Amino acid sequence: MNKTRIGIDAGGTLVKVAYQEEDQIKYQTFPSRKMDEVVSWIYDSFANHKICVTGGKNQVLANKLNFPVETMVEFDATSRGVGFLARQYTLSLGNDFILANVGTGTSIHYVMDGEQQRIGGTGVGGGTLLGLSYLLTGKIDFNEIVQGSNDGNRENVDLKVKEIFEGVAPPISGDLTASNFGKIGSLIQEKPSTSDMLASIIGLIGETVVTICCQAAHRYHTNSIVYIGSTFRSNPLLKNIIEEYTILREKRPFFLEDGEFSGAIGALLTLN
C-alpha cells in the first residue's frame, strides 16, 4: 500500500495540512493551540503515511508524534508551494516577484527562478487583526470580525489627505489615507460603530502591508506581488484595499486560491 504524503505547516495561529489522495491534494486546518487535535486526526485518518512538517511550531508538533518526521525551512516550503499553486491555477507570475505571507505576522520575500530570499516583514498581520479587534470591539472570532467589517465606514475613523488639505489641492491623491485612526483624535464627533472600527483595523493592516510590498517591488525591480496567508480567507475588504493600492502603484497584485496552504504544499512536495 502506498504511503499517504502529508505536508504540515504549523504556524503561530493555524496548522495547515495538505495531503495527497490519489491525484488530488486535500486540505485541513486546525488552531495551533490545539496541537493534540492534529495528532489524533493524523492517527485516526491515515494508516500508512510519511510526513514533512514546517512552520514556526514544527518542533512542537514533531515532539508530539511518536514516529519520526521530516522537517524543512518554512520560507523554502512556502515559495515551492506558491510555484505549485500558480501552475495549478495557470497563473503566470513571471520569473520574479515579491511574495507577502500575511500570517500571524507578515513576512516578505523576493522570489527569483523559484528561489526565495527573505527581504523584510512587519509585525502587522493577521495577529494584529485579531488583537486590535478584540481590544476595540470585544470580538475575537475571525469570521465574525471579517463579516462585521462588511458594512463598516472607514471615513468615520480614518483621516484622508483631502481632509487635511483645506482650500488647496493636495500634492498627492486626496483619497489616500493620511492617518489610520487619525479622525478619532481630531475631527470625530461621535464614537464610530463596531463595523467602522473593524473596517479601519483591516485598513490599517492592508495599507501597512501593501505599502511595504510596493516599496519592495520597486527596490527589486519587479512588477508582480503575490499575497498569501490565512488573513485573506473570506476577507474581501483586505483583498480590495491591497489590490487597489497595488494597482495605483502600477504593480500587479496576485491572490492565490488556497495560498494559505503554500507552506504545507511545499512540505508535501519534498516527500517522494
Ligand X SMILES: Nc1ncnc2c1ncn2[C@@H]1O[C@H](COP(=O)(O)OP(=O)(O)OP(=O)(O)O)[C@@H](O)[C@H]1O
Active site residues: 74
What is the per-residue binding string for Mg ion in 96-115, x denoting contact by CB under 5 A?
A: -------x------------
Q: Looking at 4, 20, 104, 224, which residue binds ligand X (CB under 6 A)?
A: 104
CA–CA distance, 255 with 128 (Å, rounded to integer): 20
Which residue reads 523584510 in cell numbers?
A: 120
Q: Which of 251, 179, 183 is nearest to 212 (CA)?
A: 251
Is the CB of 207 or the CB of 260 nearer to ligand X? Answer: 260
Q: Which of 34, 54, 180, 179 is nearest to 107 (CA)?
A: 54
Is the CB of 14 or the CB of 53 nearer to ligand X? Answer: 14
By DSSP bridging, strand 96-102 and strand 106-112 are antiparallel
Q: Is 11 in the site for Mg ion (CB under 5 A)?
A: yes
Q: Looking at 7, 81, 83, 103, which residue binds ligand X (CB under 6 A)?
A: 103
Is the CB of 224 or the CB of 231 nearer to ligand X? Answer: 231
CB-CB contact of 252 with 225 (8 Å): yes
Query: 128 in the Ramachandran plot: left (φ > 0), alpha (ψ -120 to 50) or beta?
Result: alpha
Stretch that binds ligand X, among 8-16, 36-44, 113-121, 213-221 (CB under 6 A): 8-16
The residues of the shown chain that bind ligand X, judged by CB under 6 A, are: 11-14, 55-56, 103-105, 126-127, 129-130, 142, 229-231, 233, 260
The residues of the shown chain that bind Mg ion, judged by CB under 5 A, are: 11, 103
